[in-house]
Amino acid sequence: MAEITYRDALNQALAEEMERDDSVFLLGEEVAEYDGAYKVSKGLLDRFGDKRVKDTPISELGFAGLGVGSAMVGLRPIVEFMTFNFSFLALDQVINSASKMLSMSGGQIGIPIVFRGPSGAALQLGAQHSHACETWYLHAPGIKVVTPSTPADAKGLLKAAIRDNDPVAFMEGELLYNTKGEVPDDDDFVIPLGLADLKREGDDVSIITHGTMTHVALQAAGQLAKDGIEADVLDLRSLRPLDVDAILATVAKTNRAIYLEEGWPYLGVGAQIVSIIMEEAFDDLDAPVLRVTQADIPMPYNKKLEAWARPGVARAVEACKKVLYV
């Protein structure tokens, strides 16, 4: 294994899948000449040429539609949104076209397309550029949603998403691009969609989470361990399809759980997870399931207010102790 950055893991996945399948191509703002806003597509233009790495105008609705149309006729486009915040401009193509076409065509027209880019807050980018965007996509049947937290997950899951025959919203952590981790050297390293990963084992409480918040959960688990509390940290990795068995297994083991997410509380991802636990694992619970989320406000620009609004280690630790009654 080699230790590489999350950014380089994504780059490897793109290059390997484009080499493997010449129907795969990348399009988006600044993905070619500029090597991508976050340098994820670095070197791909030189390697594959401008027919397969395409710079687009600043028109998310337009180039998302181009991607959907090309998928309808047999290509496998990867549409990069410079940030998933900008993808709201393309929701008509993503939700009304990509996610519904297989069903509306009676199974005749598949849409093998990946919409990828950074999601969630970074540092002081203001309310319009700090959305955790999962719930907009999760609500629509027909599109898969993936949120990798480590370089290995980023590579393995992106390769799986590109090979998948359904639309996939692949949401990368905006704060994770420089993080490092070990990644298998195997060119065929693929992580199937729909499998959660237990990032840390413990018997006292379950911290269920996804994406960037996995790192916050691991830090919280480390702090809890100093007080003799051992936490399971379950990274869902994929939100649609969802590894319900893994959720139920961790709850059955610890009997107490919190859900940690970057998004807002109202109709958030955690609301769905808590509903599943209450319906299918109620008898395993020794305490109510709690959620730790962003404050229910637009993200402030002010540095101190932004830190207050974001879910962090202290709040996760507090929630775990609350369900443990300590």
Catalytic position from the list 30, 129, 139, 230: 129
pLDDT score of 185: 86
| Whole-prediction pTM | 0.96
Q: Which of 98, 136, 310 is nearest to 239 (CA)?
A: 136
Q: For residue range 91-104, what is the model confidence (pLDDT) as tens digits?
A: 999 999 999 999 99
Respond yes or no: is residue 131 known to be catalytic: no
142-167: average pLDDT: 98
Tokens of 322: 């609350």
Please tell me what DSSP assigns to residue 199. Answer: E
Q: Which of 65, 124, 161 is nearest to 304 (CA)?
A: 124
pLDDT band at 186 (very low <50, low <70, confident <90, very high): confident
Q: Tell me how crowded residue 228 is: count the other CB atoms within 10 A of its CB.
A: 8
pLDDT score of 187: 86
pLDDT band at 158 (very low <50, low <70, confident <90, very high): very high
DSSP E strand boundaries for 6-110 = 24-28, 53-55, 76-80
- From the centroid of its chain, how far is CA 204? 27
Residue 134: pLDDT above 90? yes
Catalytic position from the list 60, 134, 172, 306: 60
pLDDT score of 61: 97
Q: Which residue has the higher pLDDT, 186 or 235?
A: 235
Tokens of 59: 């028109």
Instruction: Give just the sign of the alpha carbon dihedral 198, 134, 212, 155.
Output: positive
Respond yes or no: is residue 60 known to be catalytic: yes
Ordered by where they begin, the domains of the chain are: 2-183 (3.40.50.970), 197-323 (3.40.50.920)
Note the residue count of the chain.
326
